[in-house]
Structure formats: structure tokens, C-alpha cells
Amino acid sequence: MKKSILLLSAAALALSATAQNEENEAVEYNQYGQKVESLPAQASFQDGVMVFQNKNHGFKMWFDTRVQVDAGFYFGGPEWTKDEKIDGKLNADHIGNGATLRRTRFAVKAQLGKSWYGEIDADFTRGTFELKDAIVAFTGVKGLEIKAGNFKENFSMNRNSTSRYLMFMERPMVTYLAPSRHLGINATYENPYVWGAFGVFGPEVEGETLQTLSEDANKAGQSEGLSYTGKLVLRPFGGKGDLMLHVGGAFSYRMPKTTAEEGYRCVRYSTRNTTSINRKKYVDTDVITGVDHEVAYTAEVAGLYKGLRFEGAYIARGAYLDRTVNDKDTQWFDGWYGEASYLLFGGKQNYDAGGAKFTRITPGKKWGDLEFAVRYQTIDLNSKDYYGGASSMWQFGLNFYPHKNVKLVMNYGLVNNDRYANGKGKLLVGYDADGKPTKDYTKVVDAKGKAGVDYQQLEFRAQIAF
């Protein structure tokens, strides 16, 4: 009997020790020594994107990497750009051909259950960290998203579209009158037929320079100016399917920002001729001082039918001036663009209903698809008192999709800059009465439509996103 009791006791102790060991093995701790719930995650490649997820608990994390390699060639400019010297000085008006890394992006994104989403996105093209998106979002109510952090204001469809899925290598010139990324909070609501957003935004926090400006202003007791941006989109055919129509408009009221590099209560409107390699900004207002506030508005229309996609918008921005500082009327600048593309081998265009913008195509063949695109665009930075120049441009493009994560692009453009587009007085725009090239538009004697720097550009891009 005693022997049986001893055997049973030993067995019980062994079972208890085994259970204790299993319990200890099941318990996990984080780097702070706290017990944590550990769940298995499935790793997979979703169209080439590495994803870790646990579907039962609604957890999903993935990486977003993007590399864009560009090359550009420029020709057909005015005769004076062929001269090596003007008045004994080296001519700096040549347009240099070249190549560049346009974007080198890395992002980590996560959906934490049904209610929370987070993202951090950075660019390393210049060899330094440059913050793009940093987002905390609530997604727990169907059709509603509330997010805070640094991200693009919901204003321009083209401006808000990711560079992965743009029709051309660069956005239209006029989109640079649209607000881009700022620190703020925004609410978006959408259903198949209506999409709307409203947000309040503060400073830019892209890099060290802007962060320092904001911090120095705060030390001086100066509050960061706020902006209020709202947008409404109607989709009469719904946001999905082979037929989609998007009609929208947006409005933004903007107070001066302490992060303005031109100085507080100062603005400057400028852009390149839809290229990142030619660094000359022909259209440039230079600094406008004494700004009380700005107003921007846009009207846009877009749509698709199977392999056809089109998009167009008018954008205007006005600087309201404080007459005690700058005794001038409100200065208005504007422009518009229209673009369309077609997939030549049976592919399908797609629309992101949640973001109210276009997204990745569906190729028509196993080897991919080829897309032909055409665009006309204008921007006018000439106002009553400031002559920043005007520019228009025809563009034609071919986009080859050999893989879901690879895109090869060729763009050809015909650029027409007016006589006022002299890059803040730095670039030649015509001939004076003595027949000499001049940078001063008031001295140009060329007939209307003949002055200004007109040229052609041929550019290429190799893109991979995974």
C-alpha cells in the first residue's frame, strides 16, 4: 500500500512539474519584462509584398518599398542656349541632361484589429531621413476614418495619388498650387456614391530645416498657423466596376505657417516644367510678403471605362495681403490639366473608392500590358502685381507593366514658357532692341508668343515597388 502511495505521489509530482514547465514555456515577455499575448502570424507574399498577418485577430503588417530611377534629355531650346558664352560670360542657361534617383522609399504599415491603423513612411533619396507619412488612424466604423499625424491634405486627386500609380512620371505643374503634407487631423467618410473629407492642419514636418523653424517660432511665443481643408466627391455610378465617374471639389483656408522657408507671412509659388532632372524653375513668383491668409480651391472630374482612364482639374490659389505691410490687392494664380490613358492589350483600370483616386491596373496579358497616355497642362503665375511666368505643355507617355511590381515609363513633352518665365530674373527669355538675349521681360521685343524658353524633353523611368 505504501509503495502504491509513493508511486502515485511521484507521478503526481512529475505531472505537476510538466504542466508548470509547459505553462512557463507558454508565457512570453517583452523587452520591458511584461507578460504579452503571443499569437502566431502567417508570412506571405501578396503580389510581391511581404505581409505578416493573423486573420482571426485582424492583425496585419507589411512593408512598402519603392525605387524610381529616372533619366532625362532636353533639346530644341532657343538658339542662345547653344552659345557657350554671352557677353564674355559662360552661358548658364543650358539645360543639362542627366539621371537621378527620384524616390527611394521605405514604409512600415499595420492594421491592428478592425479599429486601428498605423504607418510610417520615409524617403532616403538625398542620403538623409526625410519624413513623409506618419499616421495613427481609427477605422472601427464602416465608411469612416479618423486619422492624425503627418499626411497629405485631401484636396487634389492627382496630388493625393501615390507616385506608384501616376499616369506620367511627374504630376501636372498646377498641382503644386495644391496643399501637400502637413501635421493635422482629418476625418473621411465614404460610401459607394459619396466621399467627403475635412481636416485641420498645422506645420510641415518633412525635415530638420522645417522642424527647426517651427521650434524657433514656438520659443518666440508664436503659434503655428492652421489650415482648414474640405473636399466632396460624387460618384453617380458607384465607386467600383468597369464604369466609374468621379466629380469633386475642394476648398482650403490657410493661415501663414511658421515653417515657411521664405519667412513668416511670406509665400512663394514656383514649379519646374514637370521634370525632376531639369532643376530650372522657369515659373516662379519669388517671395510675396505681408500675407494675411491664403485661399485655394479646385474642381475636378475623373472616370474610367474598362481600359480607359481620364482625369482633369482646375486649381486656383490666392494670397490675401495685409495692406499695412504690402499695399496690393489679392494675388491669384491658377491653371488646369486634362489627361487620359488607355491599356492597349485588354487590361483594366482600377479606382480606389476608399481613397477617391486611381490605383494599380489589372494587366490584360500574362506578360503584362502597355498603356498609352496623353496630357495637356497649364499654369499661370502672372497676377496683377507679380509676374512669375506662365507655362503650358503637351505630353505623351508609354507605360509598360512587365510585372505587377515593375513599371517602365517613357515620357515626351513639348514645353512652352512665356516671356515672364525667367526664373526670378535669372534666365534668358528673349531678345532686346539691340538683338541681344535678355533676362528682362520688359526689354523683350519678340512678338507675342515667340518669347520665353520653349524646348522638348524625353524622359525615362524604371520603377519597382514591393
Position 24 scores a pLDDT of 47
The single-letter DSSP state of residue 434 is: T
DSSP 199-252: EEE----SSHHHHHHHHHHHHTTPPPPPEEEEEEEE-TT-SSSSEEEEEEEEEE
Name the 3-class secondary structure at 443. Answer: helix
Secondary structure percentages of the chain, helix, strand, coil, to 5: 15, 50, 35
DSSP 130-186: EEEEEEEEEEEETTEEEEEEEEE-S--HHHHS-GGG-SSSS--GGGGGS--EEEEEE
In this predicted model, what pLDDT tens digit does every residue of 284-340 receive, in sequence order?
A: 999 999 999 999 999 999 999 999 999 999 999 999 999 999 999 999 999 999 999
Strand stretches in 260-386, DSSP E: 270-271, 283-284, 291-305, 308-321, 331-343, 351-352, 357-358, 369-382
Position 91 scores a pLDDT of 67
Reference 50, options 427, 433, 466; nearest CA is 466
379: which strand partners? 335, 391
Position 79 scores a pLDDT of 77
Angstrom distance (rounded) from CA 322 to CA 291: 6
Alpha-carbon distances, residue 309 vs 167, 190, 299 (angstroms): 9, 22, 18
pLDDT tens per residue across all 466 residues of the chain = 555 555 555 555 555 544 444 444 468 898 899 999 888 999 999 998 999 999 988 899 999 999 999 999 999 988 777 666 666 665 668 899 999 999 999 999 999 999 999 999 999 998 888 999 999 999 999 999 999 999 999 999 999 999 999 999 999 999 999 999 999 999 999 999 999 999 999 998 877 777 788 888 788 788 789 999 999 999 999 988 899 999 999 999 999 988 888 888 999 999 999 999 999 999 999 999 999 999 999 999 999 999 999 999 999 999 999 999 999 999 999 999 999 999 999 999 999 999 999 999 999 999 999 999 999 999 999 999 999 999 999 999 999 999 999 999 999 999 999 999 999 999 999 999 998 899 999 999 988 888 999 999 999 999 999 9
